[in-house]
Amino acid sequence: MSDLTARAEELDAADELAAKRAEFVLDDVVYLDGNSLGALPAVVPGRVADVVSRQWGELRIRSWEESGWWTAPERIGDRIAPLLGAAPGQVVVGDSTSVNIFKALVAAVRMAGDGRDEILVDATTFPTDGYIAASAARLTGRTLRPVAPAEVPDALGDRTAAVLLNHVDYRTGRLHDLPALTAAAHRAGALAVWDLCHSAGALPVGLDEHGVDLAVGCTYKYLNGGPGSPAYLYVRAEHQDRFDSPLPGWNSHAEPFGMRPEYEPAPGALRGRVGTPDILSLLALEAALDVWDGVSVEAVRAKSLALTDFFLECVSAYVPSGRVESVTPVPHAERGSQVALRCADAGEVMKRLIGRGVVGDFRAPDVLRFGFTPLYVGFADVERAARVLGEVLD
């Protein structure tokens, strides 16, 4: 047994989250793509079958009340809230991340007032954030200015209405300083809108504590909600009365079944709702959230850092020198829960890794991306992934 294999065994034996793995459907593959699509929690198939066959098939329309369909967006929002460091009543689930970015940014611009004519957006962000921010700017008559997160403090000013930032960069895995950047936005009188797609469920976010104004995130990565499961929107309690949605669908009405021609927004985070909620996907997500029972985000973060540290160590040991270069920051304070390795011919290398049972993903032009999901990835997986990578590149 090699030294690293032995180390992996020790680390797995001491892992307080190790038992969580049994709550997922897994096989012999080392699945390091949970930052793209989380694995299937074992409780989900039975719950979805019940939703389809009994709630829809037998109760039909009665389920809107009797099976709690109507209140699912806010009920499931409250299940997610603790993972974001948010008190209840501030998170609502529904629509895609892109649609929620649109709601959040337009609402932020409106709250900032007419005197502020600029939106800052993370220039390194996942592209949809920039595309949607451009549309929000165009429709509200603001100017969009892309800046690197490190330059945000200098770019903020009297003109800034809002800044949209990604908590963790989807490509490099860099973790941005949410408390400091939020505080900088506030000092300039601007609102801070955070995209948590690559952080929530992998590390503490602390939305309430750090005064974040609005946030969005997907639920199919670290939250394991299933392919394309609905995203969430966080609206800080103190802003809810001023949250003026650009998508004021009937589900956000104070009296949705009053069928009134005049729009009157519901109180609270409910006004982030739009149309009829997508029940099958929502309730699959609700079931998937059961795996978080008894789990602290702090324990997840500690294991996440141990996993990525160990992966970098194993890569150094196994991969021939010069074949890969990590673009993920070394300091813990700057690292999310993934490791990105720059590598010649990365697309082809990833195909060979997948053929050998190690699943990560490829991001153009030259990045191998490995996500570490502490609820179901162990240290032996990490050692094996690095070892196979070394063999593939040898």
Q: Give the catalytic positions in this structure.
A: 126, 195, 220-221, 369
Window 293 to 322, contacts with a second copy (CB under 8 A): none
Cβ at position 362, least distance to a second copy in Å: 9
Interface residue with a second copy, options 12, 56, 329, 357 (CB under 8 A): 56
Cβ at position 374, least distance to a second copy in Å: 17
In the bound state with a second copy, the residue whose beta carbon lies nearer, of 75 and 323, is 75
Window 322 to 361, contacts with a second copy (CB under 8 A): 359, 361
Contact 221, 33 (CB under 8 A): no
d(C-alpha 74, C-alpha 232), whole Å: 10
Contact 232, 269 (CB under 8 A): no
In the bound state with a second copy, the residue whose beta carbon lies nearer, of 134 and 299, is 134
d(C-alpha 191, C-alpha 235), whole Å: 12
Window 253 to 272, contacts with a second copy (CB under 8 A): 253, 257-261, 263
d(C-alpha 366, C-alpha 327), whole Å: 11
Interface residue with a second copy, options 218, 300, 340, 393 (CB under 8 A): 218
Interface residue with a second copy, options 171, 236, 369, 387 (CB under 8 A): 171
Give 74: exposed, middle or buried? Use CB within 10 Å, 0-12, 13-18, 19+: buried
SS3 341: strand
One character per residue 95-114, x = contact with a second copy (rule: CB under 8 A): xxxxx--x---x--------
> Residue length, the chain?
394
What are the backbone dihedrals phi and psi of residue 103, each rounded to the nearest 5 degrees, phi first?
-55, -50
Kindly list the distances between the CA atom of residue 69 and the CA atoms of 26, 45, 82, 131, 292, in Å, as whole numbers in the listed order: 30, 18, 22, 32, 22
Cβ at position 245, least distance to a second copy in Å: 8
Kindly list the distances between the CA atom of residue 149 and the CA atoms of 38, 129, 165, in Å, as whole numbers in the listed order: 27, 14, 7
Interface residue with a second copy, options 282, 314, 377, 386 (CB under 8 A): 282
Window 119 to 158, contacts with a second copy (CB under 8 A): 123, 126-128, 130-132, 134-135, 139-140, 146
* Window of 180-188, 239-247, 298-306, 318-326 that interacts with a second copy by CB under 8 A: 239-247
d(C-alpha 188, C-alpha 160), whole Å: 7
Residue 275 lies near a second copy (rule: CB under 8 A): yes
Q: Which long-range contacts (CB under 8 A, 24 or more apart) does 55-61 make?
A: 55/283, 56/279
Contact 192, 162 (CB under 8 A): yes
In the bound state with a second copy, the residue whose beta carbon lies nearer, of 36 and 182, is 36
The first and second tokens of residue 74, run together, are 């806010």
Count of residues interacting with a second copy (CB under 8 A): 79
Residue 18 lies near a second copy (rule: CB under 8 A): no
Interface residue with a second copy, options 248, 268, 329, 357 (CB under 8 A): 248
* Window of 52-60, 149-157, 177-185, 336-344 that interacts with a second copy by CB under 8 A: 52-60
Sign of CA dihedral 293, 82, 25, 53: positive
Cβ at position 174, least distance to a second copy in Å: 16
In the bound state with a second copy, the residue whose beta carbon lies nearer, of 45 and 179, is 45
Query: To which residue do tokens 């997907």 refer?
Result: 218
Cβ at position 275, least distance to a second copy in Å: 3
Contact 335, 321 (CB under 8 A): no
Cβ at position 317, least distance to a second copy in Å: 27
Contact 239, 192 (CB under 8 A): no
Cβ at position 382, least distance to a second copy in Å: 18
d(C-alpha 33, C-alpha 198), whole Å: 12
Cβ at position 228, least distance to a second copy in Å: 4
Interface residue with a second copy, options 90, 166, 199, 281 (CB under 8 A): 281
In the bound state with a second copy, the residue whose beta carbon lies nearer, of 131 and 158, is 131
Interface residue with a second copy, options 274, 349, 350, 382 (CB under 8 A): 274
Residue 178 lies near a second copy (rule: CB under 8 A): no
Angle (deg, nearest 10), helices 97-112 and 127-140:
40
d(C-alpha 59, C-alpha 22), whole Å: 33
